[in-house]
Amino acid sequence: MRIVRKSLILEAAKTMVHAFVTSRLDYCNSILYGASAVHIRPLQNVLNAAARLILRKRKYDHITAAICDFLHWLPVQQRIEYKMCVLVLSAPDGTHLPL
């Protein structure tokens, strides 16, 4: 993806990363609710690498602020919690999922 990124504009790069990376991170991530940081950290590393790809940063550049400020992405742990909240709120009345 890094080779292709060189010829893409920013919006096209965001779309590519969403199609291949973030959509897979978010798919069924609710099963990781309550998982330890040891299991969440590799996913956060993937998300950081995807952000570096979009923003054309080097491997060791600090990326946390850019993820929040520029891309408006939540960290993986907060993405999982957000998805759980959406699932609970979208459940039919009387059948809320236990947390």
39-77 tens-digit pLDDT = 999 999 999 999 999 999 988 888 988 898 989 999 999
Return the pLDDT at 10.
87
**pLDDT level of residue 92 (50, 70, 90 thresholds):** confident
Structural domain of residue 14, as residue ranges?
2-90
Return the pLDDT at 5.
80
Q: How many domains does the chain have?
A: 1
Sheet strands (E) in 1-99: none
What does R_g of the chain's alpha carbons equal in angstroms? 15
Domain assignment present for residue 67? The answer is yes
Q: Is the pLDDT of residue 13 over 80?
A: yes
- Quote the tokens at residue 80: 């999982």
CA-CA distance, 5 to 97, in Å (whole number)? 41
> How much is the mean pLDDT over the chain?
88
Domain assignment present for residue 40? The answer is yes
Return the pLDDT at 4.
81
Q: Are 96 and 84 in contact (CB under 8 A)?
A: no
Return the pLDDT at 88.
84
Q: Is the pLDDT of residue 94 over 70?
A: no
Q: Are 74 and 82 in contact (CB under 8 A)?
A: yes
Domain assignment present for residue 98? The answer is no
Domain assignment present for residue 97? The answer is no
Half-sphere exposure for 77 (CA within 13 Å, toward CB): 8
- Quote the tokens at residue 97: 């999922």
